[in-house]
């Protein structure tokens, strides 16, 4: 015995109604207090975050396959609701069709975002001015790894562009030593 009697339900409806988020009944989960609408603080936070119950499915932006968000993964957790790509598309996500060097041979060494020349001798360890492969139409918006959708860019510009289709020159991050007018 825990030395403490369970707290009686403060309101009658609390003993009868299931959790507003996950739907578990009070018999399945020991509610901390008798006046709660949710079985846990996680369920309450999720309900507020999604403006209602947690979504159960979403569509892959690349191939329109329905992704089950209730699927339990290897670590015993459900899929995040922010997932945008199904497993096959996500596995293909890291398989570029061209490297930064091949893009430089094809298009020249100018950054496809800011237009400045990219120093092809730099590596990631040298800083954010190193070359990177940019998707003109981002993968998260349905773009592919097709070579026609790839361009050479500074890593700094690519990171600033993020998942946008285009980036205005005013939003590119300043280079080291560059004076910014305010």
> Which residues lie below 8 Å from residue 140, measured CB to CB, with a gap of 6+?
61, 84, 85, 163
User: How many residues appear in the chain?
Assistant: 182
pLDDT of residue 102: 84
pLDDT of residue 38: 78
Low-confidence ranges of the chain (pLDDT < 50): 1
pLDDT of residue 111: 94
pLDDT of residue 181: 53
Look up the pTM and report it: 0.46
Angstrom distance (rounded) from CA 155 to CA 124:
8
pLDDT of residue 173: 53
pLDDT of residue 109: 94
pLDDT of residue 170: 52
pLDDT of residue 123: 84
Q: What angle do CA 78, 88, 166 make, to 5 degrees?
A: 95
Angstrom distance (rounded) from CA 75 to CA 97:
32
Of 108, 116, 124, 132, give the one whose Cα is nearest residue 169.
Answer: 116
- Strands in the chain per DSSP E: 57-59, 66-68, 131-135, 150-154
Per-residue pLDDT reduced to its tens digit, 132-144: 999 999 988 888 8
């Amino acid at each position: 015995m825990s030395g403490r009697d369970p707290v009686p339900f403060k309101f009658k409806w609390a003993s009868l109604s299931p959790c507003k988020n996950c739907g578990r009944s009070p018999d399945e989960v020991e509610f901390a207090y008798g006046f709660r609408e949710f079985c846990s603080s996680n369920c309450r936070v999720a309900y507020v975050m999604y403006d209602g119950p947690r979504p159960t499915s979403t569509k892959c932006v690349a191939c329109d396959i329905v992704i089950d968000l209730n699927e339990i993964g290897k670590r015993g957790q459900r899929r995040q609701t922010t997932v945008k790509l199904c497993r096959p598309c996500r596995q293909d996500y890291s398989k570029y069709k061209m490297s930064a060097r091949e893009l430089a041979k094809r298009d020249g060494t100018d950054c496809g975002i800011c237009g400045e020349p990219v120093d092809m001798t730099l590596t990631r360890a040298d800083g954010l001015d190193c070359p990177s492969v940019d998707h003109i139409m981002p993968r998260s918006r349905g773009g592919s790894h097709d070579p026609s959708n790839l361009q050479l860019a500074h890593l700094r510009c690519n990171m600033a562009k993020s998942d946008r289709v285009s980036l205005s020159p005013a939003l590119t991050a300043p280079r080291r030593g560059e004076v910014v007018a305010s």
